[in-house]
Structure 1
Amino acid sequence: MVKAIILVKSPKKLIAVKLRKLTKVSNSFPTSGQFDAVAIIDVQELIEIKEVANQIQKISGVERTETMVEVQ
């Protein structure tokens, strides 16, 4: 299992709700600061992280993302 956090910049107020609808997103919540929401993802393979990031970037209103992968 690979875990990652994807930070999302989007002025849309309900972006965290939209993120939660993605199948690989285990949790999402709004944040204050440079980014507007966080998506926590759990996947089997590292390559899946890129796929989820691409799905997030296609959501209307998403300006940019930054991904951090758990290191063990």
Structure 2
Amino acid sequence: MVRAIILVKSPKKLIAARLRKVDSVSDSFPTSGQFDAVAIIDVEELAQIKDVANQIQKINGVERTETMVEVQ
């Protein structure tokens, strides 16, 4: 199992709720600061992280994302 955190910049309200609808997103919540929401994703293989990030980037109102992969 691979876990990653995707930071999301979006002026849209309730973006965290929209993120929870994406497959592999185990949790999402709004944040203050440079990014507006965080999505925590759990996938089987590292290569799947890109697919999930692409799905998030296609959500209406998402301006940019930044992905961090958990290192163990």
TM over 0.5: same fold?
yes
* TM-score of the two chains, using structure 2 as the length reference: 0.99
Q: Alignment partner of 2:3: what SS?
A: strand
- The answer to whether residue 35 in structure 2 is matched with residue 35 in structure 1 is yes
* TM-score of the two chains, using structure 1 as the length reference: 0.99
Count of matched residue positions in the alignment of Structure 1 and Structure 2:
72
Counterpart-to-counterpart distance in 2, 1:23 and 1:65:
17
Runs of 4+ in 1 over 4 A off after TM superposition: none
Q: Could you list the runs of 5+ residues in structure 2 that have no partner in the other structure?
A: none
Counterpart-to-counterpart distance in 2, 1:61 and 1:27:
19
Over aligned residue pairs, what C-alpha RMSD do you find? 0.4
Counterparts of 1:13-28 in structure 2 under 5 Å? 13-28=13-28
How high is the sequence identity, in percent, across the aligned residues? 83
Query: In the TM superposition, what whole-angstrom CA distance separates every residue of 1:35-60 from its partner, at most 9, and x where no partner exists?
Result: 00000000000011000000000000
Query: In the TM superposition, what whole-angstrom CA distance separates every residue of 1:22-45 from its partner, at most 9, and x where no partner exists?
Result: 110000000000000000000000
